[in-house]
Structure 1
Amino acid sequence: MPSLRDTIAADLRRQITTGVLKPGERLPSEPQLATRYKVSTATLRDALALLQAEGLVEKVHGKGNFVRRLRRRLTYEGGTLTPIVPTLQVTVRTTQLRAQGTLSTLLKVPPQALLTEYLCVSHVGESPHSLARIYVPRDLAPAESSCRWSKPAELGPRLAETREKVSARLPTPEEASTLRISSALAVLAITRVSADTSDRVVEAALLVLPGDRADACFTTRHATEYRRAEG
């Protein structure tokens, strides 16, 4: 038998998907909804948390809960985000730091080796779409500060291998704040490591994509030999 939380979530979900509650519309206050459904505020918040995790409702601090507007989905494929949205803007912050812990392991460099970090946040208008932290050995960092979702163009001819690991997890508090998403909304976390023909790691990227607006697509091409029949 469905719990009160699930029953409330199902009713609000139905109202959202059928258009009774429209994108951008503010829901009644939590005490009002708790009274309407005859449950405690704690139970009502649990129901809203389900809808927040599904990307149907977003809670704006100090303002209340709103039906979430549909976000354009982007696809991460081949190191890039598609489709290319004309209004997609990227802010970049460049920092010089020294390798420690995981970064030292990913980049195969000694601890304290000099690195350049590119912190990139893509957004459409005021809506953040993705977060990337890209690390490059200091001697390979280009002069210009730019975000590279794809591999660095100047290293293209030398790149021999790129490995990507994808996992689903909950965002860290910093990621949730930067991307303006609920801490209960899963994200796609992609760790990408690129090496050149000498097996030197030239880039390590930690990418975070909100699960409600991003897909990851991977294509494997198999070589097929065609042999002519003898005779």
Structure 2
Amino acid sequence: MTGRVSPRYHEIAGDLRDQITAGHVQPGERLPSELALAGRYEVSTVTLRHALALLQGEGLLVKVHGKGNFVRRPLRKITYVGGWGTMDLSTAAGPSFRVTVRSASVQASAYLADLLRVPPGSPLAEFFCLGLEGEVPRGLARIYLPRDLAQAEVFDDDSDRREAIARFAVLGPSPAVVRETVSVRLPTADEAAALRIGSQAAVLAVTRLATDPAGRVLEAALLAFPGDRVEAVFTVHHMAEERKTGG
């Protein structure tokens, strides 16, 4: 029996991988354009992009829209602290880490209405937060509050609010309970585009609900982190019940 010949793009990916691991192409360095690489290897740009996609999936390359393919710098993982909902910025990259924010008023979809326990179409305040280290996305948060709870101060640009947004923390009134559901899954198309990852790259997804003492949902947050760039830490506090002893 004859062995199966690997597709050409596997050979190209192997050659580029060898160059990266040998240090011939340094972290942060941009590869030649896709057209130039396709010419070098005498293949179509479609075949070349298949090879680059393999290396992107392995975490060796990152593609920056409009700029090209770069050898990925070693990434330090950030820590998401569960139980309250906070990203520990001390684990990020310091001054080069930033969060971009877009806010808007939206109507509750069926999914959001179910999460927030409001009628479909109810007005909500939406915060779309993207954490970046340099040009590399580190995490995505979509935070929703019932519009009547999102008073004007929620949209104010004060330092406390900026810090809460930068930490992907609870934005609304102080909750009595925070419940988080964590899963590992493939990204949605929107998440893959925002995080600049392949459609087959795993994400750590957190759905966070904050409720008041009466059980009203104050806030719903949908967080997604590339699986190779985050770790989640949850601490359980056991409350010992005092027992009276009989005399």
Both structures adopt the same fold (TM-score exceeding 0.5):
yes
Q: Does 1:121 align with 2:130?
A: yes
Q: In structure 1, which of residues 132, 144, 151 is the aligned counterpart of residue 154 of structure 2?
A: 144
SS at match of 2:113: helix
| Aligned 8 A contact 1:59 1:65 in 2 | yes
Paired position in structure 1 for 2:158: none
Is the alpha carbon distance of 1:69 and 1:197 closer, same or farther for their aligned partners in structure 2, counting shifts above 3 Å?
A: same
Q: Does the C-alpha gap of structure 1 residues 135 and 16 become closer, same or farther in structure 2, counting only changes over 3 Å?
A: same
Q: Which runs of 5+ in 1 are unaligned?
A: 226-231
Matched ranges for 1:99-110 at <5 A: 99-110=108-119
Worse overlay, 214-223 or 89-98: 214-223
The answer for the alignment partner of 1:72 in structure 2 is 76
Residue aligning to 1:165? 182
Pick closer, same or farther for the CA change 1:218–1:18 going to 2, 3 Å.
farther
Q: Relative to 1, partners in 2 of residues 1:140 and 1:60: Cα closer, same or farther, differing over 3 Å?
A: closer
1:51 aligned onto 2:55 = yes
Alignment partner, residue 19 of structure 1: 23
How big is the shift at 1:203? 1.0
Secondary structure of the residue that 1:155 maps to in structure 2? coil
Q: Normalised by the size of structure 2, how large is the TM-score?
A: 0.73
Of 13, 26, 30, the residue aligned with 2:37 is 30
AA in 1 matched with 2:182: K
Q: TM-score when scaled to structure 1?
A: 0.77
Cα RMSD (Å): 3.1
Give me the whole-angstrom Cα distance separating, in 2, the residues matched to 1:109 and 1:123: 32
Stretches of structure 2 that go unaligned for 5 or more consecutive residues are 156-160, 242-247
Equivalence for 1:229: none
CA distance in structure 1 between the aligned counterparts of 2:107 and 2:64, rounded to whole angstroms: 37
Q: Specify whether residues 121 and 60 from structure 1 end up closer, same or farther in structure 2 by C-alpha distance, changes over 3 A only.
A: closer
Q: Structure 1 pair 23/155, CA: closer, same or farther in 2 (3 Å)?
A: same
After superposition, the Cα gap between the structure-2 partners of 1:50 and 1:217, relative to the gap in structure 1 and judged at 3 Å, is: farther
Equivalents in 1 of 2:44, 2:207: separation in Å? 42
> Is residue 193–residue 201 contact of structure 1 (8 Å, CA) maintained in 2?
yes
Q: Distance in 1 between matches of 2:123 and 2:18?
A: 53
1:106 match: secondary structure: helix
Instruction: Output the amino acid matched with 1:216.
Output: A
Amino-acid identity (%): 48
Tell me if the contact between 1:30 and 1:45 (Cα under 8 Å) persists in the aligned partners.
no
Aligned residue for 1:162, secondary structure, equals strand
- Number of residue pairs matched by the alignment: 220
**Aligned partner of 2:24: which letter?**
V
The CA distance in 2 between the partners of 1:115 and 1:53, in whole Å, is: 36
SS of 1:178's partner is helix
For 2:220 and 2:194, locate their aligned partners in 1 and report how far apart those are by CA, in whole Å.
21
Q: Write out per-residue CA displacement over residues 4-55 of structure 1, whole angstroms, 9 at most, x where no aligned residue.
A: 44444344323323322211223343324523xxx66544432221111122
